[in-house]
Structure 1
Amino acid sequence: MLDFPNAKINLGLYITSKRPDGFHNLQSCFYPVKWCDALEILPAAAEQFDMTGLPVPGNPETNLCLKAYKLLQKDFNLPPVHIHLHKVIPMGAGLGGGSADAAFTLKLLNKQFELNLTDDALEAYARQLGSDCAFFIRNKPVVATEKGDVFSPIDLNLSGYTCVIVYPGIHITTAEAYGNIKVEHPDCHIDMLLKQDIQVWKKVLKNDFEEALFPKYPELPQIKEKLYAAGAVYASMTGSGSAVYGLFKDEPGQLIFPDHYLLWKGLL
């Protein structure tokens, strides 16, 4: 079976408090975008996992796709499979690509072996793999709170807007991003900010990680400025970076970036 795990962007991201378990509470809107990896799962005589596309650092044995398989294999005695992941979404970018791969692995295995797991059950498994993995089970816009794994539906439709995502090749780890973050509760809840006209988001909607990371990586504010100069109605870093996106009501103006940057453009 073949599917295409997609990325997400964060519309606003506020770190509101430090939790006793060492994680942070946050408020953000997760919105799916169509920048995709490719994931194929086939029956096999022995368990096998391999990757092509963008190189993924670390031991393949710790890949989230394999962890997702082992999670269900333990509970449902699944037979061996061959998992092949073609990586297109960059890592350390704040786009949730690895989380999407894990969630789509769960969904594909559920279909392939007719496990009849509900979305609620799949989300419960996904939460064991990572804070934002569960978002990709239903894959619809939500307001995320607590660790980023408690979701509330939001009536937000950006269909027709063009999204441009720029990844400058800077891998920012979660530990680095949170290392200099300031915990500050927003003046009002993020869903109230998102109800305002998109034209004013530039003034009211922010990502707390920008304050911590922009001084260290001047390429990031430069990307954001270029997106606004090209006509974006809203631009922001996504997640804990380092990808920066712009939302355009009309066709973007000319965008010129260094050759090693990765760019994606598509309709929401």
Structure 2
Amino acid sequence: MELVQKAPAKINLSLDALYRHQDGEHEWRMVMTAVDLADYVHIQPAATIQVTTDSGFLPEDPRNLAYQAAKALARAAGVTAGARIHIEKHIPVAAGLGGGSSDAAAVLRGLNDLWGLGYSKDKLAAIGLTVDSDVPFCVYSQTALVRGRGEVVQPLGPMPNCWVVLAKPRVSVSTPSILNAIDYSQPLPRPDTGMVIEGIARRDFAQMASGMCNSLEQVTASRHPEITELKHRFLKYGATVAQMSGSGPTVFALCEQQSRAARVYNSMKGFCHEVYLVRPLG
């Protein structure tokens, strides 16, 4: 018996870093959506929890978020069974696209079925929060407002029709190093999250795009100027809006028409090694 779970990448339509809690965790308000670039997580029964990947860049031990998710679910459910977990990678690693968190969420969903737990997505998301702040969103993998430390996930319904072009430069970013570099005593760029939410509710692409911003972008771009260059090229080639996803370094662009997105995609392929043309899920 083998279960296969799709683990979609995520992008941040808005990301507002509000403040740092006393324990060092951050308070977030962000609109996130899942896109049709995905890893595939294969799960089979086994005596112990084992994780393998087809990527040479990921650990296959307790450092792997998928491994941590399996252990967290087993502890929460009092399960002594194991599982053989193989991750088929398509999402770039350390890219700001939530690949590790999505793999972890896929493990929670898959083991919930394999072990016959019958847990709700809300319960799986709560367990996932102990692994990483993006895991609760990835349990749902639909357009949502995410608040708090990542634990409050409010679905918003489907995005306006559009296409997404992703460009991952040849650098990798450590999320903890970027988060540690945030200086809350200085003003950060802030999205108009309400405008993004209203644009989604009205299925108004222009309104949604007008409110978008990522508060972390200037922090990461100060270390990796390729991010600013990618944004400029996206806009030069005709994208409506372009911004960094998560802590970076991937930059994404939105286009309302497929033909425009295809032109942007083809133009960016000549400049950036990893470029993807995808659609939002739902």
Which residue of 111, 128, 134 maps to 1:126?
A: 128
Distance 1:164 1:122 in 2: 30
Which residue of 111, 114, 117 maps to 1:115?
A: 117
List alignment gaps of at least 5 residues for structure 1: none
Describe the superposition over 1:24-56 as per-residue Cα deviations: whole angstroms up to 9, x where unpaired: 212110111111011101122554321103522
Distance 2:118 2:144 in 1: 24
1:195 aligns with 2:195: no
In structure 2, the residue matched to 1:90 is 92
Note closer, same or farther for the CA distance 1:259–1:39 as it changes in structure 2 (3 Å cut). Answer: farther
Distance 2:154 2:189 in 1: 18
Aligned-residue Cα RMSD (Å) equals: 2.3
Note closer, same or farther for the CA distance 1:166–1:203 as it changes in structure 2 (3 Å cut). Answer: same
In structure 1, the residue matched to 2:105 is 103
Deviation at 1:265, TM superposition (A): 1.0
Matched residue SS, 1:55: coil
Distance 1:178 1:41 in 2: 33
Matches within 5 A, 1:160-179: 161-179=162-180
Q: How many percent of aligned residue pairs carry the same amino acid?
A: 26
Note closer, same or farther for the CA distance 1:259–1:198 as it changes in structure 2 (3 Å cut). Answer: closer
Deviation at 1:262, TM superposition (A): 1.5
**How many residues in Structure 1 have an aligned counterpart in Structure 2?**
266
Once the two structures are overlaid, the 10-residue window that deviates more, 75-84 or 86-95, is 75-84
Distance 2:268 2:196 in 1: 31
1:234 aligns with 2:241: yes
Matches within 5 A, 1:142-153: 142-153=144-155
Aligned partners of 1:5 and 1:104 also within 8 Å? yes
1:16 aligns with 2:12: no
Give the alignment's TM-score, normalised by structure 2.
0.85
Which residue of 206, 214, 226 maps to 2:213?
A: 206
1:63 aligns with 2:39: no
Which residue of 41, 51, 57 maps to 2:43?
A: 41
1:5 aligns with 2:17: no
Note closer, same or farther for the CA distance 1:189–1:162 as it changes in structure 2 (3 Å cut). Answer: closer
Describe the superposition over 1:69-88 as per-residue Cα deviations: whole angstroms up to 9, x where unpaired: 11222333242221111122
List alignment gaps of at least 5 residues for structure 2: none
In structure 2, the residue matched to 1:157 is 159
Note closer, same or farther for the CA distance 1:109–1:202 as it changes in structure 2 (3 Å cut). Answer: closer
Note closer, same or farther for the CA distance 1:18–1:40 as it changes in structure 2 (3 Å cut). Answer: same
Give the alignment's TM-score, normalised by structure 1.
0.89
Once the two structures are overlaid, the 10-residue window that deviates more, 69-78 or 225-234, is 69-78
Deviation at 1:249, TM superposition (A): 1.3
The letter of the residue matching 1:238 is S
Aligned partners of 2:195 and 2:208 also within 8 Å? no
Distance 1:210 1:71 in 2: 32
Matched residue SS, 2:171: coil
Distance 2:48 2:124 in 1: 25
The letter of the residue matching 1:116 is G
Aligned partners of 1:198 and 1:233 also within 8 Å? no
The letter of the residue matching 2:103 is D
Aligned partners of 2:12 and 2:245 also within 8 Å? yes
The letter of the residue matching 2:64 is N
Distance 1:13 1:77 in 2: 36
